[in-house]
Structure 1
Amino acid sequence: MIKKPNTRSMIFTLYGDYIRRYGGEIWIGSLIELLEPFDHTEQAVRTAIYRMGKQNWLTSRKETNKSYYSLTKQGVKRMDEAASRIYRIEPGNWDGKWRMVHYSIPEENRHIRDEFRQELSWSGFGPLLNSVWVSPNELTSQVYDMVERYDIKEHVHLFVSENQGPKTDLDIIKQCWDIDFINERYKLFIEKNENKFIEDKKKIELGEYSEKDCFVKRTMLVHYYRKSLFIDPGLPKELLPNKWLGEEAAKLFDKYYKILEKPANIFFEKVFAKGYE
């Protein structure tokens, strides 16, 4: 049995896949209605929205008796970064350089240190040593954003370097990430969805799914596929193993997404428009 996604996580999915494409703002009544098919109550949505505001992901405005919520600058950056990885089909090329982050955040700020590590991991860094994280991708701006957000400038060093051995670049990859585990996750995604894609494609063509059905299916497809961001650093093609399934999974996701896209948008737009009537 698949565990129901938490409300905050689902709100991020809706902002990333829908709301940001429609001006980035939504009436909370529409948001509550959009989350109802996923068994999230009005109270759960309001609580999650409140907490996301406190965490500087969302900002609000009131117009007459309606409250509208939009992404903050920090939220927009996070959604743009996520989108660039979710909807990417082929891995990028490598410039041969490593980005290395070294930090020494005091013990009294352990909560900041823990959050900083989570942010590094989400962005695509891997732990080479306890307080030294590396990435083969150009993530300089992301690091500076994190440093500014947590106000830890005096505790962080960022280097751009080349590996001179004796370990190879592929050895570094194996040390920092469990590539076999990531590949297995992509294998499971493919096995779970390749037959479902064929079945759903036929049902859509026969008109057996409503626009709401397609909205639910597309939202859940994106939600679970984007979970790969938490474990896949998005390595360039030069550093991937020969039997890499990430590209195959991305192509399947893209095909599946496209058959659901138009009817799902129609349903979303109907609900979204209620906030501006």
Structure 2
Amino acid sequence: MADVSDQHAPRSLIVTFYGAYGRFATGPVPVAELIRLLAAVGVDAPSVRSSVSRLKRRGLLLPARTAAGAAGYALSPDARQLLDDGDRRVYATAPPKDEGWVLAVFSVPESERQKRHVLRSRLAGLGFGTAAPGVWIAPARLYEETRHTLERLGLDPYVDLFRGEHLGFAPTGEAVARWWDLAAVAARHEEFLDRHAGVLRAWESREDTPSEEAYRDYLLALDSWRHLPYADPGLPPELLPGDWPGARSAAVFQALHERLRDAGARFAGV
């Protein structure tokens, strides 16, 4: 059904696998099992091994032995925290509410200017928009994840976080259009729909749900989707253009999740 493309990088697919299935295994996932499960989405064994090595160097995967003594990999505590934080975004089902904003104001000494770049990159990756130079803004519900991320990276000494509401002078909807590139975010949603809405229609026309096909299509859909709630911070609908595609793409992912996730778990062995 879904096509594997360059947009599904092997390293990303491995993280997606652990987020969907691997973290629920009773022990470390054996290397041989990782190779089997990634082959189902078109990743060859050398790519799995090199990607796992990179994830190990980043501290996300830890080498471990299974109960039977086979070589395998388990998630690090930091990786589990990342996935737990991400669950609130990736699997959100309710439309976001206007609960105010979290502001990140940072100051980095010139002698450590590289950390300034890392800070900007991480805040953007969390879904923050830019309200002014050195002042970043996001929906208030992202506070806990932002705090965890900055503490994990040792960037918290450079940042002050505030909660607040927008009081003017421009209407908040106009301000939001300055703080985020909404056209670029909408394009990401349309791309997801182009790639996966047809997959959902094909499944809706079937009564059977074979486990390997379900696993393959679910993992590819999740790999595409899980990045989107970070590009799109989940702004309240009343602040977005009327033809916003985010609700449609979220509905497609949720339907694929409900149809395919559990069937795919049988193929994944969890």
User: Per the shorter chain, which TM-score range?
Assistant: 0.7 to 0.9
Deviation, 1:4, is 4.9
**Which residues of structure 1 form unaligned runs of 5+?**
273-277
Distance 1:152 1:252, change over 3 A: closer
Q: What is the CA distance between 1:108 and its match in structure 2? A: 4.5
Q: How many residues align?
A: 266
Matching of residue 41 in structure 1 with residue 41 in structure 2: no
Q: TM-score, normalised by structure 2?
A: 0.86
Which is further off, 129-138 or 188-197?
188-197
Q: Cα deviations across residues 30-74 of structure 1 (Å, max 9, x unaligned)?
A: 111111133323232222222222222222323564223222222
Residue in structure 2 matched with residue 275 of structure 1 by the alignment: none
Match of residue 70 from structure 2: 66
- 1:193 matches 2:196: yes
Q: Equivalent residues in 2 for 1:75-224 (5 A)?
A: 75-95=79-99, 97-202=100-205, 204-205=206-207, 207=208, 210-224=210-224
Q: Aligned pair in 2 of structure 1 residues 180, 34: CA closer, same or farther (>3 Å)?
A: same
TM-score using structure 1 length: 0.84
Instruction: Check 1:240–1:89 CA distance in 2 against 1; reply closer, same or farther (3 A cut).
Output: farther
Equivalent pair of 1:15/1:24 in contact (CA under 8 Å): no
Q: Secondary structure at the match of 1:261?
A: helix
Structure 1, residues 119-176: CA drift from partner, whole Å, max 9, x if none?
2122221122232111122233223223322323332111222223212222221111
Residue pair 1:125, 1:133 contacting (<8 A) in 2 also:
yes
Unaligned runs of 5+ in 2: none
* SS of aligned partner of 2:40: helix
> How far 1:220 sits from its partner (Å)?
0.7
Aligned residue for 1:158, secondary structure, equals strand
Q: Deviations over 1:210-237 (max 9, x none)?
A: 4222211111111112231342111234
2:84 partner letter: D
Deviation at 1:118, TM superposition (A): 2.6
Specify the alignment match of 2:245 in structure 1.
Answer: 245
Label 1:230 to 1:135 Cα distance change in 2 as closer, same or farther (>3 A). Answer: closer
